[in-house]
């Protein structure tokens, strides 16, 4: 993971932006800051950004709407949501949109940097050529591991976040085996997340909408009650 990564800080608190910008810069990162979603959109369009820190509660367009915009346009961008204590609903919505992690305010900049490093490590692994060139059919899609690319039956690319890729790869690496939520988090490099929260379930739902012919009746990513999830390459053929 390169210390030259660019971090975009989006928060309406100028003091917090200044502190984080100085701290990240001192650690060898390129730090950009924006006071609102409009400024953030302009910066993201102008500068290659590796990870965006988005405050959820901002005047005007909030962080959730901005996260959706960034995820749709910059699939390789990692997103970390900054949430207030107790905003469970916002956190869940953020994960549904495609955020890669979340940090609760107030936080220690050192803790935040550790979470960012974890996200960037996962992202750098995703784009590493070491993953090989194998292509895996998953439902109505093809997963190209080397290119970090998911395409549908017509060959069109299906937008996918780095964390969604690592989760899908973890499942496809262990066909016909039940993986617990804890095991999935470990294989996806998310050991700091609680396996009993809804993060895995929400991402599975997002992936099913992309790969399953009928997401309400999944054939390829099966739920195994009280145990976890199982990737079944043959889908209904193995029922």
C-beta separation of 222 from 215 below 8 A: no
Per-residue pLDDT tens digits for 60-75: 999 999 998 998 888 7
Q: What is the pLDDT of residues 125-140, one digit of tens each?
A: 444 433 344 778 887 7
Q: Is the pLDDT of residue 57 over 80?
A: yes
Q: What contacts 24+ positions apart, CB below 8 Å, involve 42-49?
A: 43/8, 44/8, 44/70, 44/73, 44/74, 44/77, 47/6, 47/8, 48/6, 49/6, 49/7, 49/8, 49/74, 49/77
Judge if 175 and 114 occupy the same domain.
no
Both 133 and 221 in a single domain? yes
Q: Which of 126, 160, 175 is the last residue of a domain?
A: 126
Return the pLDDT at 20: 96
Judge whether 1 lies within some domain: no
pLDDT one-digit tens code per residue, 201-238: 888 898 998 888 888 999 899 999 889 999 988 775 44
Is the torsion defined by CA of 148, 151, 156, 158 positive or negative?
A: negative
Is the domain of 89 the same as that of 15? yes
For 188, the domain range is 129-238
- Do 115 and 80 form a contact (C-beta atoms < 8 A)? yes
What's the domain count of the chain? 2
Among 43-52, 101-110, 180-189, 220-229, the minimum mean pLDDT is found in 180-189
Chain centroid, CA 179 distance in Å = 19
Regarding whether 194 and 118 lie in a shared domain, the answer is no
Dihedral angle over CA of 100, 129, 72, 45, nearest 10: 100
Parallel/antiparallel/unpaired status of strands 51-55 and 78-84 = parallel
Co-location of 118 and 133 in the same domain: no
Structural domain includes residue 64: yes
Please state, rounded to an integer, the average pLDDT across all residues of the chain: 82
What pTM did the predictor assign? Answer: 0.59
CATH number for 186? 1.10.10.10
Last residue of a domain, one of 126, 151, 166: 126
């Amino acid at each position: 993971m390169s210390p030259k990564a660019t971090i975009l800080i989006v928060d309406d608190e100028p003091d917090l932006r200044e502190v984080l910008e100085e701290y990240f810069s001192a650690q060898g990162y390129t730090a950009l800051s924006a006071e609102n979603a409009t400024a953030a959109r302009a910066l993201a369009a102008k500068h290659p950004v590796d990870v965006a820190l988005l405050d959820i509660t901002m005047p005007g367009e909030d962080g959730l709407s901005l996260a959706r915009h960034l995820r749709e346009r910059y699939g390789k961008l990692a997103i970390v949501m900054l949430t207030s204590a107790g905003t469970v609903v916002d956190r869940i919505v953020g994960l549904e949109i495609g955020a890669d992690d979340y940090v609760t305010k107030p936080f220690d900049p050192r803790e935040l940097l550790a979470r960012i490093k974890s996200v960037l490590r996962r992202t750098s692994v995703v784009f590493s050529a070491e993953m090989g060139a194998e292509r895996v059919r998953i439902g109505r899609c093809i997963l190209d591991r080397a290119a970090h690319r998911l395409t549908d039956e017509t060959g069109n690319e299906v937008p996918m976040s780095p964390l969604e890729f690592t989760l899908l790869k973890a499942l496809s690496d262990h066909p016909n085996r039940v993986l617990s939520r804890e095991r999935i988090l470990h294989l996806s490099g998310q050991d700091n997340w609680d396996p009993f929260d809804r993060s895995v379930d929400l991402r599975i739902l997002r992936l099913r909408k992309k790969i399953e012919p009928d997401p309400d009746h999944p054939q390829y990513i099966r739920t195994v009650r009280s145990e976890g999830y199982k990737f079944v390459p043959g889908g209904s053929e193995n029922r």
